């Protein structure tokens, strides 16, 4: 922790938005001064900045012609903006070059640009955000990249390799990378704190369940497997993404049903998952249909739950059968008692037994760490709300103060 107070800005640039948060780091702890969203960038309508401060929520309807103008507007609204000492950027894909948060220089930016081939929907906007931020803050303000993929770089080759010709990996880096890594860093460290054990001694299965969803097997504090793959499309059933499927399906769609590859890609990313199965992408709507007994709503929920439970079993094996904690996080993991019930149902013989009374406290909608198992088994079940913005701020400060080792970019 910093010896004196300093401000750290966290930025997450999207195609038409800036998400941001401002933290004060001091010896007494971390304080989130403001967080918000500038949206509708580059559009003629729906341009606004929504922010939350200690004084409550505010909405500013102002023109945001481009990312540069939007960030300037955001900075104008920030308290004590001249005291910002460093900026942390969320970067979706770091390829194999980065295993931790990294100070941004020309070589790092080049590597992030090269990784854009693996994340074309995200990395180009992350790069633009970095460039605009460096322009506005100047070279004297350290800029740090925090990668969604970094935490998963500890996976062994048998977990991240695909059974494809080896040259595709050596020449083109085609392999599993995994995502939501910053969230897993945060919840695993919180799990260590609430369980009262060093993270190096813990085996955890973490479920980051939101519109995008993944799971991670964490052995002695290090990722050994995760559900997402080379892209965030693989693995679990998500709001609009298909997750795991037979890789021959796209070829069948193009050769026999007349789809273009662009249409297939759009379908798998934006029209599949829960939306494709029942017409609803929001888990709350799906659960409403499930509870009503609507056939497609019931089917969508059952497919989602089955896929989650299948990976839960696989990850128990990946952890050699010893699981200290099952952690639910993300919008669904934190707020849906039904999801947690269905995932854990009937797994007492595997050491997973949910306390349903605790699971329904506050209608099962939790904004704080809470233990939910019956305490009859060695595996604890927790809801731990994630805080990726805080984690990025902490990693940014650690990098700037050299508290984490420098990573060489190959």
Query: Does 375 count as an annotated binding residue?
Result: no
Report pLDDT for 166.
99
Give the chain's residues under pLDDT 50: 1-3, 406-410
Report pLDDT for 2.
45
Report pLDDT for 403.
58
Going by their DSSP bridges, the two strands 213-219 and 222-226 should be labelled as antiparallel
Query: Does 12 count as an annotated binding residue?
Result: yes
Query: Does 49 count as an annotated binding residue?
Result: no
Contact present, 279 and 300 (Cβ < 8 Å) = no
Q: What structural domains and CATH numbers belong to the chain?
A: 6-147 (3.30.420.40), 196-388 (3.30.420.40)
Give the predicted TM-score (pTM) of the model: 0.93
- Residues 359, 363, 369, CA angle at the centre, nearest 5°? 55
Query: Does 225 count as an annotated binding residue?
Result: no
Maximum separation of any 2 CA atoms in the chain, in Å: 65
Measured between alpha carbons, how far is 243 from 231 in angstroms, rounded to an integer? 10
Q: Which residues are catalytic?
A: 148
Report pLDDT for 238.
98
Query: Does 371 count as an annotated binding residue?
Result: no
């Amino acid at each position: 922790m910093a010896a004196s107070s300093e401000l750290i800005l966290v930025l997450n640039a999207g195609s038409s938005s800036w998400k941001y948060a401002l933290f004060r780091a001091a010896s007494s702890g971390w304080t989130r001064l403001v967080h918000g969203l500038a949206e509708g960038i580059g559009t003629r309508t729906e341009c606004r900045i929504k922010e939350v401060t200690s004084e409550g929520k505010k909405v500013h309807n102002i023109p945001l012609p481009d990312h540069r103008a939007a960030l300037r507007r955001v900075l104008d609204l920030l308290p004590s903006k001249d005291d910002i000492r460093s900026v942390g950027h969320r970067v979706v894909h770091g390829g194999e070059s980065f295993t931790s948060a990294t100070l941004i220089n020309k070589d790092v930016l080049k590597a992030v640009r090269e990784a854009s081939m693996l994340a074309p929907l995200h990395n180009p906007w992350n790069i633009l955000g970095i460039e605009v931020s460096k322009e506005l803050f100047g070279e004297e303000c350290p800029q740090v990249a925090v990668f969604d993929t970094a935490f998963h770089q500890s996976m062994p080759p048998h977990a991240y390799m695909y059974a494809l010709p080896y040259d595709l990996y050596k020449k083109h880096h085609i392999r599993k990378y995994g995502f939501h890594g910053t969230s897993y860093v945060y919840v695993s460290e919180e799990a260590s704190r609430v369980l009262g054990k060093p993270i190096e001694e813990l085996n955890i299965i973490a479920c980051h369940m939101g519109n995008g969803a993944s799971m991670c097997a964490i052995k002695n504090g290090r990722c050994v497997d995760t559900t997402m793959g080379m892209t965030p499309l693989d693995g679990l059933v998500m709001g609009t993404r298909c997750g795991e499927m037979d890789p021959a399906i796209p070829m069948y769609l193009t050769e026999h049903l007349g789809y273009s590859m662009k249409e297939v890609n759009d379908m798998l990313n934006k029209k599949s998952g829960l939306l494709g199965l029942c017409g609803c992408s929001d888990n709350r709507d799906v659960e409403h249909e499930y509870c009503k007994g609507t056939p497609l709503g019931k089917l969508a929920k059952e497919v989602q739950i089955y896929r989650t439970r299948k990976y839960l079993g696989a990850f128990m094996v990946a952890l050699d059968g010893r699981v200290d904690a099952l952690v639910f996080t993300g919008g669904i993991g934190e707020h849906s008692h039904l999801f947690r019930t269905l995932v854990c149902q009937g797994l007492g013989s595997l050491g997973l037994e949910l306390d349903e009374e605790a699971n329904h406290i506050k209608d099962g909608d939790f904004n704080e760490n809470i233990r939910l198992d019956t305490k009859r088994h060695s595996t604890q079940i927790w809801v731990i709300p994630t805080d990726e913005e805080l984690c990025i701020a902490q990693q940014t400060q650690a990098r700037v103060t050299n508290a984490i080792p420098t990573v060489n970019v190959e």
